[in-house]
Every structure is written in structure tokens, then in C-alpha cells.
Amino acid sequence: AQTVTQSQPEMSVQEAETVTLSCTYDTSENNYYLFWYKQPPSRQMILVIRQEAYKQQNATENRFSVNFQKAAKSFSLKISDSQLGDTAMYFCAFGWSNTGKLIFGQGTTLQVKP
């Protein structure tokens, strides 16, 4: 069975600094997708970034980038120039290539301090 593990329940970072959130997963699949979602207190889940497992190049979206290590089954999220609006819970998720079903990690609460 696929599992997703986020080992950091809580993180904090000063505004404008860089922070990295960790995620590891376990699967026997070869084709899959990985995602980072942000969930602010409003409960609305927002997609931050996605990575196709068959692509070696790490995905980047503005201040957000990932470090995808397929052999190590690791998928960390780096947030550069942290902003107060980045304060939220962040979830790592695994998705199959033939269905949209997602398996989420336990989440990391990120607090950006002024």
C-alpha cells in the first residue's frame, strides 16, 4: 500500500527567509504524481506544485520548488522569500497515474513570523 510521511508536525520561519518541508513516500508504482497542497485556516486546499515521477527535472513555481529524489522516495518543498501569507498547513500527496485518487501525508503546520 502507498504511504506518505511528513515527519515535521510544525515548522517556523522568519519572513523573507527560506524553509524546506520534508516528505517521504513508499510505493511499488513506477508512474505516479506527487503534489504539495496548502491549507490555510479557511480550509480551502490549494495546489502549490506538482511533479510527474517520470520527469527528472524538479518542478518550480515562482517561490516554490521541490527536490524530487525518486530512488530515495523523497519529495521536499522549498519555499523561498517566505511571506506571511504562506502561513498554513502543508500536505504532501501521492497520486496514481491512472486515477486522480490522492493519498495525503499528515501535514506540516508552517508559521511565518514577521
Partner 1 sequence: GAGVSQTPSNKVTEKGKYVELRCDPISGHTALYWYRQSLGQGPEFLIYFQGTGAADDSGLPNDRFFAVRPEGSVSTLKIQRTERGDSAVYLCASSLTKAGGFPNEQFFGPGTRLTVL
How far CA 29 is from CA of 12, 24, 52, 53, 104, in Å, comes to: 33, 15, 12, 10, 16
Q: Which residues contact 27 (CB under 8 A, 6 or more apart)?
A: 2, 73, 94
Of residues 68 and 91, the one with the C-beta less far from partner 1 = 91
Q: Residue 114 CB, nearest distance to partner 1 (Å)?
A: 25
CA dist 10 and 107 (Å) reads: 9
Candidates 28, 30, 43, 57; binder of partner 1 (CB under 8 A) is: 43
- Is 31 in contact with 70 (CB distance < 8 Å)? no
Candidates 56, 85, 98, 114; binder of partner 1 (CB under 8 A) is: 98
Determine, following the binding rule CB under 8 A, whether residue 105 of this chain makes contact with partner 1. yes
* Span near partner 1 by CB under 8 A; candidates 58-66, 69-77, 78-86, 104-112: 104-112
- Is 33 in contact with 89 (CB distance < 8 Å)? no
Candidates 13, 22, 50, 58; binder of partner 1 (CB under 8 A) is: 50
Residues that bind partner 1 (CB under 8 A): 4, 33, 37, 42-47, 50, 91, 93, 95-107
